[in-house]
Structure 1
Amino acid sequence: MSDPGRPRFAPDWLELRERADASARAPELLRPLRERLVAQPAPDGGPRGLVIRDLGCGTGSMGRWLAVRLPGPQHWILHDHDPLLLTHAGARMPVTAADGTPVRATTARGDLADLGADDLAGTSLVTASALLDLLTRDEIEELAEACVGAGCPALLALSVAGRVELSPSDPLDDALAEAFNDHQRRTDQGRALLGPDAIAAAVEAFERRGATVLVRSSPWRLGSVESALISEWLRSWVGAAHAQRPELAPEAVAYLRRRLEECAAGELNVEVHHTDLLALPRPLSGSV
């Protein structure tokens, strides 16, 4: 059984999931995002360009995926509290945007809670990946307030949706999924995490402040090619469920052994449901 307290944002885990993340993200949100970004006026009458803040950037996979799909020039500000992850992210950003203009990146060590509307002044886009479900309701409210207060769109990808499908099925699947979802909603160091309830909370928070919100499904669809990712995900998923409901042992231990054997034989397929959200606040007065 894996340690459920092992950081899911360790570099090896983030590297392992990057290809699945890239395949899962909802590309249909890019068109309305690009239309909004192109329509934004240049700040203070200066040269046009995008300032993009990646919150909880990890190793920078969101930037590597998104920068080459948006026009430039772009200045990415990569935010994370972990200096090792910031080093990874800053060193591996693309150098050109979709239109061939330059992309540059700087790093900023700090916490999401430190950012308000004033900090986002001049920011073209806030983005994050696999972050919303790790936040509390108050933190989501603060994020929506900051983005809407700055008139800044937000693209928030790959939030856990609370549903997984494994094939072949197993009688213990539903009980483990329920326990895992409860673990995602746990209170951690005084913070009541939202887990799979985060998307609904974010939609409500942004819409209440007048933003247009678009939501799209972004599932992982994993098969034998992704056996290493399935194996690591299984250990973490079952470990978290077991930590939430210790009475599931020894069934959970036997379940994990069975599932890992199926994975090693190339016989296990997993669909992990996520949701992508694009929030488009009303432009600030004086903007288009």
Structure 2
Amino acid sequence: MTAFAPDWLYLREPADAAARATELVDPLRDFLAETAGVQPPHPAREGSAPRTPRGGFVVRDLGCGTGSLGRWLAARLPGTQHWILHDHDRDLLSRAQASLPETALDGSPVDVVAEQRDITALRAADLAGTSLVTASALLDLLTRAEITALATAVVEAGCAALLMLSVTGKVALSPADPLDPALAAAFNAHQRRVTEDGRRLLGPNAVDVAATAFSRLGATVVRADSAWRLGPDQAELQRQWLEGWVGAAVEQLPQLRPVADGYLQRRLEMAAAGELHAVIHHGDLLVLPPSLEVAA
């Protein structure tokens, strides 16, 4: 799996938090409450405190990084929570384990453990006792076979999944530049590349592939958009994103370099001057077991 620098993960965390599809949280709360046998809180009922599921629930966060998704989600869910963080990077695991909130939405305790393991090898037996599988910015780094195996494991284990912030390949920069489409196409091709170990990544196709895989297994799948919207107040994030975006495009299509260098310089100057706006689209998925429906 690709390694990510902690500084980059911390830098992007506010944009991730602003982009995440909050509308998926209510049906997820309902699922967790229903499986625990209690009445879920009604979001429109003023002053009502969320009720705690008996015995709490277990969440497995795949490719947890610094714990961004856990920090965002744990405090939005009621009930005693036991988080199991998975990543291949020990440093990231340590950072994540130390940073999740200690209490849930209703004040119930949240405890956290970390496991260094290959998340692509998880199967239904590994998910026994798990209520929810989460992941952020992960699906586009997987292959078709790996996503199919993940979907099979989740559905066979009878748990829910919240899979957020997978790139979908659509980028809108303002003001526009004639080179935008060529660089976007090269970047998307890079995201679909064959890695040195022979894995063909899904990149922007991952959300569609995952939604289809879960649906074919009978699960209920709810999709939502989760776009980064970067303005002048996020110039440093714009800079680092641009450097990575253009760099990957040139790596995929080296003949772009003569024009890409000038393009990048123009874009960086716009970002520094507060003149650039960027919308980078992602997709979120909520998956519920086949026996459950999303409340209307």
Q: Per the alignment, do residues 51 and 39 of structure 1 end up closer, same or farther by CA in structure 2, a change over 3 Å counting?
A: same
Partner residue, 1:148: 155
Matches of 2:54 and 2:231 in 1, distance apart?
46
Q: 1:89 aligns with which of 80, 89, 96?
A: 96
Query: 1:226 is aligned with what amino acid?
Result: Q
SS state of the match for residue 282, structure 1?
Answer: coil
SS state of the match for residue 78, structure 1?
Answer: strand
Q: 2:198 aligns with which of 190, 195, 204?
A: 190
Q: 2:26 aligns with which of 26, 31, 38?
A: 31
Matches within 5 A, 1:200-279: 200-279=208-287
- May I ask how many residue pairs the two structures share in their alignment? 275
Q: 1:114 aligns with which of 114, 117, 121?
A: 121
SS state of the match for residue 166, structure 1?
Answer: strand
- The question of 1:134 aligning with 2:129 is answered no
Q: Which has the higher contact order (CA 8 A, sep 6+)?
A: 1
Query: 2:106 is aligned with what amino acid?
Result: D
Matches of 1:74 and 1:281 in 2, distance apart?
20
Q: 1:17 aligns with which of 12, 16, 23?
A: 12
CA deviation profile, 1:89-126 (whole Å, cap 9, x unmatched): 01101000001100010000011122110111110100
RMSD between superposed Cα atoms in Å: 1.3
Matches of 1:102 and 1:75 in 2, distance apart?
9
Deviation at 1:9, TM superposition (A): 1.7
Matches of 1:41 and 1:254 in 2, distance apart?
57
Alignment TM-score, normalising by the size of structure 2 = 0.91
Matches of 1:134 and 1:180 in 2, distance apart?
14
The answer to whether the 8 Å contact 2:36/2:56 transfers is no
SS state of the match for residue 251, structure 1?
Answer: helix
Deviation at 1:144, TM superposition (A): 0.2
SS state of the match for residue 215, structure 1?
Answer: strand
Matches of 2:121 and 2:181 in 1, distance apart?
38
CA deviation profile, 1:130-163 (whole Å, cap 9, x unmatched): 0000000000000000000000100000000100
Structure 2 gaps of 5+ residues are: 38-52
Partner residue, 1:4: none
Query: 2:160 is aligned with what amino acid?
Result: P
- The question of 1:100 aligning with 2:107 is answered yes
- The question of 1:178 aligning with 2:185 is answered yes
Partner residue, 1:3: none
Structure 1 gaps of 5+ residues are: 1-6
Q: 1:280 aligns with which of 272, 288, 293?
A: 288
Matches of 2:32 and 2:98 in 1, distance apart?
25
Partner residue, 1:41: 36
The answer to whether the 8 Å contact 2:132/2:161 transfers is yes
